[in-house]
Amino acid sequence: MKTAFISTQSNAPWAASEFLWGEAADLAIRSEHDVLVSSYRWQTTPAAIQGLIDRGARYHRRRLPTFGRLERRIDRWWNRWRHLRHFDPDVVCISQAGSYDALVGPDVRGLPDALYALNKPYVLLCNALPEHWTLNDQTRARGRKLFAGAHKAVFVSQRNREIAERHLAMAVPNSILLHAPANVTEPLPLPWPADQSDLRMAIIGRLDVATKAHDVLLEALGGEAWRDRNWRLRIYGDGPDRTYLAELATHYGIGHRVDFPGHVENLRDVWAANHLLVMPSRHESGPLVVVEAALYGRPVVATDVGLVEDWVDDGKTGFVVPATTRSALAAGLERAWASREQLSQMGLAAHAKGMRLWERTPGQVLLNELIAAHAAVSTEGCEWRHT
């Protein structure tokens, strides 16, 4: 079977949105599929993609968008999807970092038309989908056609599917829920940290306040209620706002309580040293940090975004914050502080729920859907029909 994987991730060479298709592509190669990977031309090829190439995948690197006059001129004659036509796949998987990238991304012009011209089944992966996004009438009509024509539309959370249906004003047919592979080597609740003299909180992710809202968290912890309490915050990850966040912590008088350990590969080390995940994000798709914390037996204080409503039982496995505001987050943190003697039991409850929800092999599930799409066309002996 010839399978094409198209990534629209243009903000970074490799991100959480890439884990699912990357695992499926690896499994496809190991199952002796002919695999094409299409992503952007980064200065250095991501290690995960290089691994796919080394194992036999064909690789097409698209140029990053410049949004200038030259690009508009090039678009008049350049078919950026001709590599897809030449590969002639049996099935296509489009991983959208933003759930409507194939419709509105200036860097993927012509992708829907290229899919329709192929007349082969395709699967859409839908990641980021903020509540505040809207679609105009023309894009909504194109979106209905794109989603209705998909063999499957894969959402990483129930909330994201509901937002898409609101934007499109239709039920998305053939949609399923599937979270990305979690970075968990052994899903067992870790022992509670021996030193319980302070509350140790962790926030994990790219240091990008526009999405992750570290700034609002620091503002909440800089409030008077937290001045005489014994606590520490560890901000794990790398990103463009590292300096700003350190300056902001100093501004609020809590710089001595906030650490920046950088990126840590082994999450067991993170959760062996911390009691509580805090995720104040303004928007998320399927935040794996919530999944991973639960599987290691840690509760969470998180804003009501993405899969949080699926994974967190408010007051039982963590605390759900209704909005990314100082007052809402401060109230959620206050509840966690008041319940600090029960946090270890909440962590065990989070683990129990997580084990019920956790999909062990999401990449295989996705690959099975791609195989099923091709099999349906082969069995019926006809071409794929797009609405």
The list of the chain residues with pLDDT below 50 reads 76-77, 382
Q: Contact 9/42 with Cβ under 8 angstroms? A: no
Q: How many CA atoms within 13 Å lie on the side-chain side of 45?
A: 15
Bridge partners (DSSP) listed for residue 98: 128
Length of the chain equals 387
Bridge partners (DSSP) listed for residue 320: 302
Q: What is the pLDDT of residue 118?
A: 93
Q: Contact 127/143 with Cβ under 8 angstroms? A: no
- Sheet containing strand 199-204, edge to edge, reads 258-262, 231-236, 199-204, 276-279, 300-303, 318-321
Rounded CA-CA distance 63/83 in Å is 13
Rounded CA-CA distance 171/164 in Å is 9
Q: What is the pLDDT of residue 239?
A: 93
Question: For the chain, which domains are there?
Answer: 2-182+360-380 (3.40.50.2000), 199-357 (3.40.50.2000)
Q: What is the pLDDT of residue 106?
A: 61
- β-pair type (199-204, 276-279): parallel
b vs e for 342-353, b when ≥16 Cβ sit within 10 Å of the residue's Cβ? Answer: ebbebbebbbeb
Percent helix, strand, coil in the chain, to 5, is 45, 20, 35
Q: Contact 259/235 with Cβ under 8 angstroms? A: yes
Angle separating helix axes 137-148 and 111-118, nearest 10 degrees: 30
CA 7, distance to chain mean position in Å, is 13
Q: What is the pLDDT of residue 286?
A: 84
CA angle at residue 109 from 103 to 111, to 5 degrees?
A: 70
Only one residue has tokens 């903000």, namely: 11
Rounded CA-CA distance 185/55 in Å is 23
How does pLDDT run across 31-52, given as a tens digit for each residue? 999 999 999 888 899 999 999 9
Q: Tell me the two tokens of residue 272.
A: 């062996």
Q: Tell me the two tokens of residue 343.
A: 């946090």
Q: How many CA atoms within 13 Å lie on the side-chain side of 14?
A: 14
Q: Contact 336/276 with Cβ under 8 angstroms? A: yes
**Own/partner pairs for 336-345, CB < 8 Å, 24+ apart?**
336/199, 336/276, 336/299, 336/301, 337/199, 337/229, 337/231, 340/199, 340/275, 343/275, 343/276, 343/299, 344/192, 344/275
**Own/partner pairs for 59-68, CB < 8 Å, 24+ apart?**
60/36, 62/38, 62/107, 64/10, 64/40, 64/107, 65/10, 65/106, 65/107, 67/106
Other Cβ atoms less than 10 A from the Cβ of 337: the count is 16
Report H helices in the chain: 19-30, 47-54, 69-77, 82-87, 101-104, 111-118, 137-148, 158-168, 209-212, 214-221, 242-251, 267-272, 288-295, 308-311, 326-338, 343-357, 362-380
